[in-house]
């Protein structure tokens, strides 16, 4: 059975996963509103796909602009089927190294930018009683790692918000999926901002960098069929890992957590206390 063409609204569409998934949607005949802070890198899509793509400048930290842009997208195509919240970047450094203003800025983009896009789209999706919201998290939204505390915190926040959202909007026919990529050669590192380094954390920093091997990184182009299969699924999952690396890591993580919780269960249970009936 042929899938009906979908209308996508994509943030951070100019590079990385956003660009790859935007182009994959267009290639198969979907229509896309592709947004980015700088749309110059999207001009070739207009040349190739014409009226099927609408490129709009958007900084997701500008809440008013988000609402105006989503409204314009809806007016252009008469509906929205897939909301892809992809805009984001990494702010890296040890927690002690983090500059508060820079940490705030990372949350403004990764968390509050995502929130604004979701809030702008929801009234439209509720009215049509359909839609699929994709929030882009990371393996760093499941596993915190040294010198990535602020970035991980933003992605943990996206995960919690998205999980709650899924329960809130299911009765309106709206689906939610958290996309959790592992390591891919998307050029993400070029968008990383680093906190001022303290020599005390150089050893930890080197250990983290040394743990990431080039062969661990996946081919970002190979993610496109997975994303298309996801948005076509009648019952998509709440979470979708991308890449072969994350699942073994997560299994080890949760086995460790369960073991620790069980070892300390007696202490945990005593914290329940007793209350008179």
Q: Any idea which residues carry the catalytic annotation? A: 137, 151, 155
For residues 107 and 155, the answer to whether their CB atoms sit within 8 Å is: no
- Which token pair is 166? 């899924």
Instruction: Please identify which residue in the block is written with the tokens 């252009």.
Output: 76
Distances, alpha carbon 217 to alpha carbons 71, 139, 155, 165, 183, in Å: 37, 13, 19, 30, 5
- Which token pair is 238? 């709440």
Instruction: Please identify which residue in the block is written with the tokens 């249970």.
Output: 269
Q: Please tell me the number of Cα atoms within 13 Å of 5 on its side-chain side.
A: 13
């Amino acid at each position: 059975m042929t899938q009906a063409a979908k209308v996508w609204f994509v943030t951070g569409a100019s590079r990385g996963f956003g660009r790859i998934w935007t182009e994959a949607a267009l290639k198969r005949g979907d229509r896309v509103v592709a947004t980015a802070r700088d749309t110059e890198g999207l001009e070739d899509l207009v040349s190739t796909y014409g009226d099927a793509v609408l490129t709009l400048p958007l900084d997701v930290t500008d809440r008013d602009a988000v609402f105006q842009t989503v409204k314009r997208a809806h007016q252009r195509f008469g509906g929205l089927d897939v909301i892809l919240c992809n805009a984001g970047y990494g702010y890296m450094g040890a927690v002690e190294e983090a500059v508060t203003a820079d940490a705030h800025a990372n949350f403004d983009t990764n968390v509050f930018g995502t929130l604004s896009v979701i809030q702008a789209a929801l009234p439209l999706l509720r009215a049509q009683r359909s839609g699929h919201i994709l929030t882009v998290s990371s393996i760093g939204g499941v596993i915190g790692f040294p010198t990535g505390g602020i970035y991980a915190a933003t992605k943990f926040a996206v995960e919690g918000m998205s999980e709650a959202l899924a329960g809130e909007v299911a009765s309106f026919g709206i689906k939610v999926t958290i996309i959790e990529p592992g390591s891919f050669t998307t050029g993400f590192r070029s968008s990383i901002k680093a906190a001022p380094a303290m020599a005390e954390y150089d050893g930890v920093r080197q250990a983290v960098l040394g743990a990431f091997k080039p062969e661990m990184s996946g081919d970002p182009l190979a993610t496109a069929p997975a994303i298309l299969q996801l948005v076509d699924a009648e019952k998509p999952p709440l979470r979708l890992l991308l890449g072969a690396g994350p699942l073994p890591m997560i299994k080890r993580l949760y086995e460790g957590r369960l073991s620790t919780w069980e070892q300390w269960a007696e202490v945990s249970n005593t914290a329940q206390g007793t209350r008179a009936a």
